[in-house]
Amino acid sequence: MNHRLNESMIQSSRIADAFRRAKAEDRAAFIAYLTAGDPTPDATVALATALERAGADILELGVPFSDPIADGPVLQRAAERALAGGTTLETVFRIARRIREETRMALILFTYLNPLLRRGKGAARQAKGAGFDGVLVTDLPPEEAREFQPRLRQAGLDTIFLVSPTSTAFRMTEAARLSSGFLYVVSRPGTTGARQALPRDIARTVARARKAAKSLPIAIGFGIATPKAARSAARQADGVVVGSALVQAAELAGADREWAVETFARALVTSCRRS
């Protein structure tokens, strides 16, 4: 696959389409997160379809990992449940294939670097074949991505990098340069986890990210847990990411997890409208 063809594929990716559609409808794209295999593969697929019914545009499907340094307690427990059930990267690919068959949402592989390295050089092509549209590697900083990022792009996958309030202007620029699909703005330093409100300095972080991203969409995540917080994020960014709060809703609801997640996600989606 040549570079020019690959760029064309990325420009017409489901992720780019999701942001264009949201912009045309005067809203922020709603990006949901689930840990694959939590509590079972079947449950993950059912939750994904519930999220699409609620109006989710993009789904981040997390690979459970034994040392999730960026995750708070909720996602740590989700990873533990999924790993205890035998979830591997191959399981995640199987789940993704089923979600791709049953939904039209854009799919992002949300992972630490180690599972991809263990899979080998074919991991990017396998992810694309499973139905993923992009990859976000949580512990891959821009400075160390020069070798790995091209493999993902050559496979036709969008690459999404993280920036935070502590990122320098240089790192934001590098993260944006390496990103396609969107640039992910972490709302606060630290781990993931549901919080009641966005930090007071988020507008400053978003302004800096906008300057680096230029025309690339940006999405805010980490800590968005209420419709009010989602509404605030939607007025500042092109996308709103909610993870821990959805996983916690499923965890607390037990057998009623699909209803709980769909109901909660619907309220969040409504809050992403700007008019």
Structure pTM? 0.92
126, 93 in Cβ contact below 8 A? yes
What pLDDT does 7 receive? 42
d(CA 77, CA 162): 23
Which residues does the annotation mark as catalytic? Answer: 60, 71
Q: Is residue 6 over pLDDT 70?
A: no
- pLDDT-based confidence at 1, cuts 50/70/90? very low
Taking only the tens place, the pLDDT of each residue in 203-242 is 999 999 999 999 999 999 988 999 999 999 999 999 999 9
Taking only the tens place, the pLDDT of each residue in 129-156 is 999 999 999 999 999 998 899 999 999 9
What pLDDT does 43 receive? 98
- pLDDT-based confidence at 189, cuts 50/70/90? low
- Tell me what the mean pLDDT of segment 260-273 comes to: 98
Q: Is residue 158 over pLDDT 80?
A: yes
35, 247 in Cβ contact below 8 A? yes
Query: Which fold is adopted by the domain 3-271?
Result: TIM Barrel (3.20.20)
Can you read off the two tokens belonging to residue 149?
Answer: 């990022």
Query: How high is the mean pLDDT of the chain?
Result: 91
Q: Is residue 184 over pLDDT 50?
A: yes
- Tell me what the mean pLDDT of segment 39-59 comes to: 98
d(CA 106, CA 109): 10
Q: Is residue 194 over pLDDT 80?
A: no
